[in-house]
């Protein structure tokens, strides 16, 4: 937030913001062109991103968050939503809510134009995400990221409880 | 969230949702027509509302939150934003971020059509809001709301610190 | 925590620590002689205090916390506990738990020797305390303290709900 | 808290409470005889345990918490504290603070009598603990425990950042 007090972003200014190209670390076809509106105005507990997905790309590796809530409001374009074991068409004006721990999701741009959506979410100091198709879990906490294969994780209480 | 798993709201379904008419308890001209997208899909930590303001109405009594972050993305119509001691024109595609404790705001629909925006925010178990034009402060915590005139509040540490 | 890594306080060092004399802002007879063990070793989320109450004094104005949990473990001396509308004798080895919002309490030293106890509690960025005998409520949040008479507080939802 | 309102535990009642025998899941010689005073009175955000360690036993596998703060107040007996790469003698009246992320610790009873201490700590919905001598990390969150070898964890940002 370089300019203190700059809390309002006009549409023309947003249009001119540079798109960050973000490739998911687990999926080279998951590519977001991202403008972080929230960071720009100094929000720290909420992430607010204007996201563009190019035709043929997906928004993210199919995943679920166990702590952070997230939601999507589609502004333009068409997409195909994978949500749990179902698929849905997505278009402008559709809203997707992702309460923590409910369902994994990813969005594919299967149209010919850019798919544009607002992505809103909590920013917690800790979160656990899971990538069910890759059998991986990501523990994020206070700046540390620990990615593990599910096969390498165990619950020690299965032998003997303690602390 | 009566229908578990209903995480996606299609635009047509949103269009058909009933508008809740909410009049601000401190300002009879602050009237929102509100559809809570977040509640409908089971979000509990994030409030996500599709808000319509009729011409001549304001969105809220001019206020500031000290705990909860909030933001606004304008979808249609025109408005006049009061932000701290400044005013700005608002239109479709504009984004307003409200980091906690920064600036008080309110939005007036000074156009001829509905002003429509998405309102996103944290939902914390506690928050303090202030209404500077009315010299009032609202303490909200765990379901209890306590509204006070600033003149009736004092800092006991001014005499002698303790607990 | 001037000496980083000084996490252990030996009994002799604790004995030699200066007692802070804390008079409650609402009760001149509520006087604690306090050594903050927790502050000394750099704890920030837990308050840990070694407290001495002189004969005839009380530990605090009779109060209840609505957010922070607290507890007391008596090390030496005798006291009289007021807990809700009951009274109990207190002596070495007794333990008092104060879940948030359950019961108001205060401890009187009605013996001839110092009453000594450990006081442990959460340190949250926000808390609401109430002093039922004085009909006062204290809102503490992010460094701001606001004390009010209950008669000066109202719930605005009693007229019309909104935000 | 089967008996609502039972917030006071008298010393004689505490003396008569059953000791829970807790063996650490990573160290069969880490055996605590534990009475949970906090649970008994309905505390939920604070853990308060009266712990006894038998001669020759250790209190826990050498570990550090990255989220939860913890502290120890010694009531009786003698012990040897391992704290980071130092060792200290422990006796009645000593206090040990464990700010999150500072130093790993364990306590050995190297005397001939029971070592008795109060163990106080935060109870957070999430925590990360590490066992440096075993090169293991435990992720605890919302009821799920995931134990991993450090060698099986990686930071995905080392290749390409994303989310």
Residue-level pLDDT at A65:
97
Q: Residues for chain C: how many in total?
A: 163
* Chain C nearest CA to B103, separation (Å): 17
Residue D5: inside a domain: no
Are A121 and A109 a contacting pair, CB within 8 Å? no
On whether residue D7 sits in a domain, the answer given is no
Tens digit of pLDDT for each residue in C18-40? 999 999 999 999 999 999 999 99
Half-sphere exposure of B46 (CA within 13 A, CB side): 33
Q: Which residues contact C92 (CB under 8 A, 6 or more apart)?
A: C74, C75, C76, C77, D11
Q: Using CB atoms, which chains have 3+ pairs under 8 A with D?
A: A, C
How big is the C-D interface in CB pairs under 8 Å? Answer: 139
Minimum-distance CB partner of C95 among D37, D95, D102: D37
Query: Are chains A and B in contact at 3+ CB pairs closer than 8 Å?
Result: yes
Flag if B23 and C160 touch (Cβ within 8 Å): yes
Question: Whose CA is closest to D62, among D116, D118, D103?
Answer: D103
Residue D3's pLDDT is 44
Phi-psi region of A156 (alpha: psi -120 to 50; beta: other; left: phi over 0): alpha
CATH number of the domain to which C80 belongs: 2.60.120.10
DSSP state of D79: E
Q: Do chains B and D touch (3 or more CB pairs under 8 A)?
A: no
Per-residue confidence band for A143, with pLDDT thresholds at 50, 70 and 90: confident
Distance between CA atoms of D29 and D7, rounded to whole angstroms?
Answer: 34
Q: Nearest-CA distance from C43 to chain B in Å?
A: 18
Q: What is the Cα–Cα distance from C100 to D134, expressed in whole angstroms?
A: 38
Q: Is a pLDDT exceeding 70 seen at residue A160?
A: no
Neighbours of A86 (CB within 10 A): 12
Token pair 């608002």: residue: B90
Alpha helix positions (H), chain C:
11-16, 37-41
Range(s) of the domain holding residue B76: 19-151
Quote the CA–CA distance of C4 and D78 in Å, as a whole number. Answer: 25
Residue A147 domain-assigned (yes or no): no
pLDDT of residue B157: 87
A 10 A CB-CB count for C104 gives 20
Beta strands in D37-114 (DSSP E): 46-53, 64-65, 70-76, 79-83, 86-90, 95-98, 105-108
CA distance, residue D32 to nearest chain A CA (Å)? 9
> Is position A117 within any domain?
yes
**Per-residue model confidence (pLDDT) at position B143:** 86
Test the D interface: residue of C9, C97, C120 with most D CBs within 10 Å:
C97
Minimum distance, in Å, between the CA of residue B145 and any CA atom of chain C: 5
A interface with B, Cβ–Cβ below 8 Å: 5, 7-11, 14-15, 37-38, 40-46, 48, 69, 71, 73, 81, 83-84, 88, 91-100, 102-103, 118, 120-122
Contact: A25, D128; criterion CB under 8 Å:
no
Q: What is the separation of C-alpha A62 from the centre of its chain, rounded to a whole number of angstroms?
A: 10
Q: Which of D149, D152, D159 sits opposite A25 (nearest CB)?
A: D159
Least confident of A69-78, B3-12, B153-162, D138-147: B153-162
**How many contacts (CB atoms, under 8 Å) link A and B?**
137
D155 alpha carbon, distance to own chain's centre:
28
Residue B86 lies in a domain: yes
Q: Is the pLDDT of residue A163 over 50?
A: no
What total of structural domains would you count in chain D? 1
Interface touch A9/B103, C-beta < 8 Å: no
3-state SS, residue C162: coil
Structure tokens at B110: 């000074």
Please give the pLDDT value at position B163: 43
Strand partners, D49: D36, D119
Are B33 and B19 in contact, with CB atoms under 8 Å apart? yes
pLDDT in tens, A88-137: 999 999 999 999 999 999 999 999 999 999 999 999 999 999 999 999 99
pLDDT of residue D160: 53
The alpha carbons of chain A give a radius of gyration, in whole angstroms, of 17
How does residue A159 score in pLDDT terms, banded at 50, 70 and 90? Answer: low
Q: Residue A8 forms beta bridges with which residues?
A: B96
- Number of residues that this document lists for chain D: 163
Q: Within chain C, which residues score under 70 in pLDDT?
A: 1-5, 159-163
The average confidence (pLDDT) of chain B is 94
Binary contact (D25, A159; C-beta < 8 A): yes
B99 belongs to a structural domain? yes
Nearest CA to D148 among A8, A147, C134?
A: A147
- Tokens standing for A43? 């929000």
Q: Is it the case that residue D163 has pLDDT exceeding 80?
A: no
Least confident span in B153-162, D53-62, D68-77: B153-162
Mean pLDDT of chain A: 94
The tokens for D30 are 């880490």
Check whether D73 has a pLDDT greater than 70.
yes
Please tell me which residue, D89 or D158, carries the higher pLDDT value.
D89
Q: In which residue ranges of chain B is pLDDT below 70?
A: 1-5, 159-163
- pTM of the predicted model, to two decimals? 0.92
Q: Which two tokens stand for residue B134?
A: 């009315």
Identify which of D141, D91, D128 has the alpha carbon closest to the alpha carbon of residue D113: D91
pLDDT at A1 > cutoff 60: no
Residue of A nearest to B120 (CA): A120
- Whole-number Å distance between alpha carbons of A18 and A58: 20
Helix/strand/coil percent split, chain A, to 5: 10, 50, 40
In a domain, B5, yes or no: no
Residues of chain D found within 8 Å of residue C46, distances taken between Cβ atoms: 46, 69, 71, 120-122
pLDDT at residue D142, as a whole number: 83
| In-domain check, residue B11 | no
Q: Which of D69, D146, D163 to mutate to test the interface with A (most CBs of A within 10 A)?
A: D163
Interface contact B160-C23, CB threshold 8 A: yes
Q: Please compute the mean of the pLDDT values over residues D3-21 and round it to a whole number.
A: 89
């Amino acid at each position: 937030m370089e300019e203190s007090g700059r809390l309002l972003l006009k549409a023309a200014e947003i249009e001119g913001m540079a798109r960050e190209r973000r490739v998911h670390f687990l999926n080279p076809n998951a590519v977001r062109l991202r403008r972080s509106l929230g960071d720009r105005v100094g929000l720290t507990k909420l992430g607010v991103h204007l996201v563009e997905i190019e035709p043929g790309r997906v928004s993210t590796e199919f995943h679920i968050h166990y702590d952070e809530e997230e939601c999507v409001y589609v502004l333009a374009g068409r997409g195909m939503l994978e949500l749990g074991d179902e698929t849905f068409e997505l278009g402008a004006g559709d809203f997707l809510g992702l309460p923590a721990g409910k369902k994994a999701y990813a969005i594919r741009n299967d149209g010919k134009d850019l798919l544009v959506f607002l992505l809103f979410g909590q920013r917690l100091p800790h979160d656990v995400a899971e990538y069910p198709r890759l059998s991986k879990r990501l523990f994020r906490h206070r700046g540390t990221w620990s990615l593990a294969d599910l096969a390498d994780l165990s619950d020690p209480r299965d032998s003997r409880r303690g602390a």
